[in-house]
Amino acid sequence: MISAIRGAIGFLTRVPIATTEADWDAFRQLPLTIPLVGTLIGAGAGSVFLLPLPLNTSVPLYLVLLYLISGITHADGLADLGDGAVVHGSATDRLAVMGDSQLGVGGTLLLGVTLLALTLGATGVGGTGSRLVSFRLFLAAEVGAKLAMVFIICYGTAAHDGLGSQLLSVNGPKSFGIALIAALPIALYPPPFASGAIFAALLSPLFVALVLLWWANRSLGGATGDVIGATNELGRVVGLHAGVLGWIFL
């Protein structure tokens, strides 16, 4: 387990930790480590909202911390997905565009809209009026985004050989069930009146995973590393907005 967690930290964050091929192999076979590391990322970035700072300072700090901790690998996958999504052609054509290192209009637009939605979602979560509720929602949304990645990994099939296929080829539904059980404690002991909002933030990213997996199977012939990364970025956004809506209406 420790080797798998080390591999997960090396894959999901920019934390300077030495990893080996054995760590990578252990991580591939234990996707439950993905939401566990998501807890560290969510707590690190979301801790800004525990401080007595104005909202217009907390939100930019959250964004900076988030990408300092997690890096931009998944955002790059989101950009590639945006470029592939606007291609009119076969799955091979889309995959070729997604493998191109140049950023196109589709990727630029999707990145921009996602960053805007993330900023607005963070502003909404930070404006709940309770520092503890805000922190718990950021934590739940991050873990939920990582759980959505696990869904793709466990239920998807690889569209081609690559980094993503190394994750997609070794896991199945049982692994997702274990990861779900590992993620659920994030929702335990919620602050007053926040249980519905926390569950909404935690579980709503799975809707993103369902939609992207359907699209990937239809348009790419299967999932890729870019699809996994995009699921993380979009899942986080949906989780934050769902948490705000849950706080207001549930």
pLDDT tens digits for range 59-89: 999 999 999 999 999 999 999 999 999 999 8
82 within a domain of the structure (yes/no): yes
Does some domain include residue 60? yes
Strand partners, 223: 158
Residue 190 lies in a domain: yes
Distance CA 18, CA 5 (A): 12
The structural domain count of the chain equals: 1
Averaged pLDDT score across all residues of the chain: 96
Label residue 126 by pLDDT band (50, 70, 90).
Answer: very high
Residue 27 maps to a domain: no
Q: With bands split at pLDDT 50, 70 and 90, how would you rate the model's confidence at 34?
A: very high
Whether residue 18 is contained in a domain is answered as no
Q: Which amino acid is at 14?
A: R
Domain of 197, in residue numbers: 34-249
1 SS3 class:
coil
1 located within any domain: no
Residue 25 domain-assigned (yes or no): no
pLDDT attached to residue 106: 96
170 part of a folded domain: yes
DSSP 8-state code for residue 90? -
At 182, the pLDDT band (50, 70, 90 cuts) reads very high
Lowest-pLDDT choice from 19-33, 156-170, 171-185: 156-170
Confidence of residue 45 (pLDDT cuts 50, 70, 90): very high
Cα distance between residue 107 and residue 208, in whole Å: 18
